[in-house]
A and B are shown apart, each in its own frame.
Chain A
Amino acid sequence: MKRVVVTGLGMVCPLATNVEESWRRLINGESGIKKVKSFDVSDLACKIAGQVPSENVEQKSDSLFNPLDYVSAKDLNRMDAFIIYALAAATEAIKDSGIDNATDSEKERTGVIVGSGIGGLSVIYDTALTLKENGARRVSPFFIPSSLINLASGHISMTFGLKGPNHAVVTACATGTHAIGDAARIIQVGSADVMVAGGTEGSVCRIGIAGFSAARALSTSKNDTPEEASRPWDKSRDGFVMAEGSGILVLEELEHAKKRGAKIYGEVVGCGMSSDAYHITSPLPNGDGAYRSMREALRFAEVSSDQIDYINAHGTSTLPGDLGELRAVERIMDGKTTGSMSSTKSAIGHLLGAAGAVEAIFALMSIRDQVVPPTLNLHDPEETFIDLVPLKAKERTVKYALSNSFGFGGTNASILFKAF
């Protein structure tokens, strides 16, 4: 089997519109969660979210997102926000990797696998209203292609001329991690040399918040102090905070990367997947599915659990989810570890289908800079022997970094990176 390394990173998230600034703000302990002002939240139980900084969304970032940097004015109504975020993150990742100079034959060996949890929820909502109020003749011919999940991969392929495998993953909040794992496998068996992989989400809108609120999944107690709302493993946590953005990685076959002298962030050494076979939204209380997902990633990599230096947890800040994952990590560590685990959702919220990809990037940055990001708002933690990196980033050795993602439907995925 061929070895797979990461040679490019791109990101749009509530902290910033690129990897470096997002990472700097994350390590500084800053939060991207704010009151929602860009649409009416007066009747919603949750009035906060992690929105991408733009002219309409107040954030303290230096960078502001402008869709016209990535698509023409004419094309704006052909794609929902989740596609535009993916194009932005892919543009950064592809430039970072240097594969933008690829030859035609290399592009035939370069694929795309970018997924989304929900896809074009906002355009589906708007079009349903148009259909009801104005009739079928007013439904846009761009409605379907602007909302289909695989059109993120499609647009990346068209924009950059990438003619290899074109695919999309849909596993709710595990999407980003599954996309990276599947892309790595495509390279491992030789079906492509390079894969542009990740996740994207743009479903912070009225119907999105209303839906997750109805499922009692969102935090509702900190609407006036939004930066305190996402508090994984804190005993007072009361749900997750929705967020939007995209994370994209360029994965590459090792010899291909070496031959062109590419910068290497780390090696993908293992990907584990499992299912709870239990419930539509709740995870197994004992975290057995999460445990088996991590165990499989370690088995594939031939790495023992005591070698893991950092886990970027799924850690959404829900009562059952955080506890199940904590029990699973305690079990896999078998009572002892020198590793650290944090949840970066404490700073950026839950990017759903993009979460796993954005968090994989943070795991790789922790390897690059030998520092692990903090779990914000963790004042009263659940009992555990695991270091949860409360409140402040921590400098430490990071050779192996694991990232977990779990989704509705009981799907679990874990990806393991090794310093190169």
Chain B
Amino acid sequence: MSDNTADKVKAIISDKLGVDIEKVKDEARFIDDFGADSLDTVDLVMALEEQFDIEISDKEGQEIQSVKDAIAFIKSKC
């Protein structure tokens, strides 16, 4: 997959967590760095499922805690 995937993932994170796109760095963690709560992360996982037309189990969703996790997970699935 191209970096296009990473850009799409970052755009969804920016939109769902209300964070400027420039701040969506690979190392950033949703809860610690973006102030997300448990509902935000569920909402984010749902948006990723919809955008990439995949299913993410609850267990897999709970392990996606950073921008890097999300990009790696989507690349592994698509």
Contacts and interface: CB of A to CB of B under 8 A. Distances in A.
Interface string A124-145: 0000000000000110111001
B43 A141 contact: yes
A141 B41 CA distance: 9
B46 A140 contact: yes
Interface residues on B, range: 10 to 19
B18 A137 contact: no
B39 interface: yes
B11 interface: no
Interface in B32-62: 39, 42-43, 46, 49-50, 55
A202 B21 CA distance: 32
A137 B18 CA distance: 23
Interface of A: 72-75, 77-78, 137-138, 140-142, 145
Nearest to A139: B46
A74 B39 contact: no
When A and B form their complex, which 10 residue pairs have the shortest distance between CB atoms, in order from nearest?
A: A74-B18, A141-B42, A141-B39, A141-B43, A72-B18, A73-B18, A142-B39, A140-B43, A74-B17, A142-B43
A19 to B, nearest CB: 30
22 contacts: A72-B18, A73-B18, A74-B16, A74-B17, A74-B18, A75-B18, A77-B43, A78-B39, A137-B46, A137-B49, A137-B55, A138-B46, A138-B50, A140-B43, A140-B46, A141-B39, A141-B42, A141-B43, A141-B46, A142-B39, A142-B43, A145-B39
Contacts of A138: 46, 50
Contacts of A78: 39
Contacts of A140: 43, 46
Nearest to B37: A141
Contacts of A142: 39, 43
Contacts of B46: 137-138, 140-141
Contacts of B50: 138
Nearest to B14: A74
Interface centre among A73, A137, A138, A141 (most CB of B within 10 A): A141
A68 to B, nearest CB: 12
A141 B47 CA distance: 12
Given A74-B17, A138-B46, A141-B39, 16 more contacts: A72-B18, A73-B18, A74-B16, A74-B18, A75-B18, A77-B43, A137-B46, A137-B49, A137-B55, A140-B43, A140-B46, A141-B42, A141-B43, A141-B46, A142-B39, A142-B43
Nearest to B49: A137
Nearest to A138: B46
A141 B43 CA distance: 6
Interface centre among B16, B39, B55 (most CB of A within 10 A): B39
Nearest to A140: B43
B7 to A, nearest CB: 20
Contacts of A145: 39
Nearest to A145: B39
B64 to A, nearest CB: 15
A142 B18 CA distance: 15
A77 B44 CA distance: 12
Contacts of B49: 137
Interface in B2-27: 16-18
A77 B16 CA distance: 9
B40 to A, nearest CB: 8
Contacts of B18: 72-75
B22 to A, nearest CB: 16
Nearest to B17: A74
B12 to A, nearest CB: 12
Contacts of B17: 74
A307 B22 CA distance: 65
B17 to A, nearest CB: 7
Contacts of A141: 39, 42-43, 46
